[in-house]
Amino acid sequence: MQLKEKFIKRKAKLGVIGLGYVGLPLCIEMAKAGFEVTGIDVDREKVEQVNSGVSYILDVKNKELSGLVKRKKLVATTQFETLKKLDAVNICVPTPLRKTKDPDISFILSAVDEIKKYLHKSQLIVLESTTYPGTTNEIILPELEKSGLNVGRDFYLAFSPERVDPGNKHYTTKNTPKIVGGITKECTKIAKLLYEQFIDNVIPVSSTQSAEMVKLLENTFRSVNIGMVNEMVLMCNKLNLNVWEVIDAAATKPFGYMPFYPGPGLGGHCIPIDPHYLSWKLKTLNYNARFIELAGEVNSYMPQYVVDKVIEGLNGVKKSVNGSKILILGVAYKKDISDVRESPSLDVINLLRLKGADICYNDPYVPELKLDNLVLKSTRLSANSLKDFDCVVIITNHSAYNYKWVARNSRLILDTRNALKSIKCQEKIITF
């Protein structure tokens, strides 16, 4: 049976390397469409949880996962030998930054090293991990061609950027439009055909480089605009203006304006990291991506700005940050999720601890927080415990919080998310 026919008849055996926020939801959609799916991950604990039908990702429900596992539509393993049995393999591994802000594609390279051992004819390989333009064509293709197989004829290679938004109740893996670009036209056709079996709308582009650039444009757009509105916070603070009032008023314009909102810094895997992949690539071509660099500077400064506002607020009630008991409300990087990757809360906590503050946190989605040399557990909120804190800092605007109740029982609040608006607390609310 030809590969195209296998896809259409859902007879192909599919594999996903990396069972994180991107890979596991992708496995679910493939399996729900009727494919037999193998998830591969080096983390034995994740593999055991998947095979037990227990989800560690908020967007994947236990009932849905366990049902697919029981029907033998989804299985997880740490063994890469299973690649030789698969008709298509999606790479969904992390792509972090090094401390020097250079791309770290070591996880991609490790996955490709395993794939090339078992690469066979009529096999499709798709990279979904975010990376710089040229990675698929310049790095992955030469490695796979060492097998002696020819791309576009013997095997197929494409890039399709992940567009996962953790906690989004409306847009999921299935109904978020999927971009795909192949090394050759046939590669694009084959990859598009696969995704069409379980994604509502698949959009082809001319090359893997274009597909890689699409993802970076999307996240650079957000990074730059968030950087701009975060700088607006700093300017409004100096001008003694309410930035939230300014933004809300500007948002009434029905054309030529899109509201972005300030915060204590950028969080999540994509927006704080992905633009630096593009900036790094352009530096190799002797070009300085100035907007990206400037937005990065502003956004990286915001946790320090939060700390400065805490110090200012404590000074206003004649307290020193050194020795003050401070509660961080929310450590996930955005509301109603458990994801703490790149969360600005972590920076705020570390900066305040360096200044001698006694730090606690509460987050209904994150019961335990592991820092470099410290493990914190979410503090139970009560009227008495809130009164013990010298300052409460709202970082994540979780819908699980009763902010009116928090305000009534707190002495001093720094509201970085405009969660309280006109609510008054016992002594003082400091807003951005």
Q: SS3 for the chain, per residue?
A: CCHHHHHHCCCCEEEEECCCCCHHHHHHHHHHCCCEEEEECCCHHHHHHHHCCCCCCCCCCHHHHHHHHHCCCEEEECCHHHHHHCCEEEECCCCCECCCCCECCHHHHHHHHHHHHHCCCCEEEEECCCCCCCHHHHHHHHHHHCCCCCECCCEEEEECCCCCCCCCCCCCCCCCCEEEEECCHHHHHHHHHHHHCCCCCEEECCCHHHHHHHHHHHHHHHHHHHHHHHHHHHHHHHCCCCHHHHHHHHCCCCCCCCCCCCCCCCCCCCCCCHHHHHHHHHHCCCCCCHHHHHHHHHHHHHHHHHHHHHHHHHHHCCCCCCCCEEEEECCCCCCCCCCCCCCHHHHHHHHHHHCCCEEEEECCCCCEEECCCCEEECCCCCHHHHHHCCEEEECCCCCCCCHHHHHHCCCEEEECCCCCCCCCCCCEEEEC
- pLDDT tens-digit series, residues 33-71: 999 999 999 999 999 999 999 999 989 999 999 999 999
pLDDT in tens, 128-180: 999 999 999 999 999 999 999 999 999 999 999 999 999 899 999 999 999 99
Torsion of CA 349, 352, 356, 362, to 10 degrees: -40
Weakest-pLDDT range from 137-141, 273-277, 328-332 = 273-277
Question: What is the pLDDT of the chain when averaged over all its residues?
Answer: 95
Compute the distance between CA of residue 166 and CA of residue 56 in angstroms, rounded to an integer: 13
Of the residues 187, 270, 360, 425, only one is catalytic, namely 270
Confidence class for position 349, pLDDT limits 50, 70, 90? very high
How would residue 425 be classed by pLDDT, with cut points 50, 70 and 90? Answer: low
CATH number of 293-431: 3.30.70.60, 1.20.1250.20, 3.20.20.100, 3.40.50.720? 3.40.50.720
pLDDT confidence band for 427 (50 / 70 / 90): low
Residue spans of the domains in the chain: they are 3-210, 293-431
Whether residue 278 has pLDDT greater than 90 = yes
Between CA 414 and CA 256 the distance in angstroms is 32
- The top-level CATH class assigned to 3-210 is alpha beta
Residue 102 predicted with pLDDT over 90: no
For 32, list phi and psi in degrees, rounded to 5.
-65, -30
Separation CA 192–CA 179 (nearest Å): 9
Least confident of 176-185, 220-229, 410-419: 410-419
Burial 128-154 (b: 16+ CB within 10 A, else e): bbbbbbebbbebbbeebbebebebeeb
Banded model confidence at residue 430, pLDDT cuts 50, 70, 90: confident
pLDDT value for 373? 82
- The reported pLDDT for the residue numbered 374 is 86
Q: In CATH terms, are 3-210 and 293-431 the same topology?
A: yes
Q: Give the per-residue pLDDT at 422.
A: 60
Q: Is the pLDDT of residue 257 over 60?
A: yes
Written as six digits, the tokens of 296 are: 């990065």
Out of 133-137, 194-198, 315-319, which region has the weakest mean confidence (pLDDT)? 315-319
- Report the percentage of the chain scoring pLDDT > 90: 91
Average pLDDT over residues 181-192: 98
**Mean pLDDT within 234-249:** 95
Does residue 270 have an active-site annotation?
yes
**In the predicted model, what is the mean pLDDT of residues 96-118?**
93
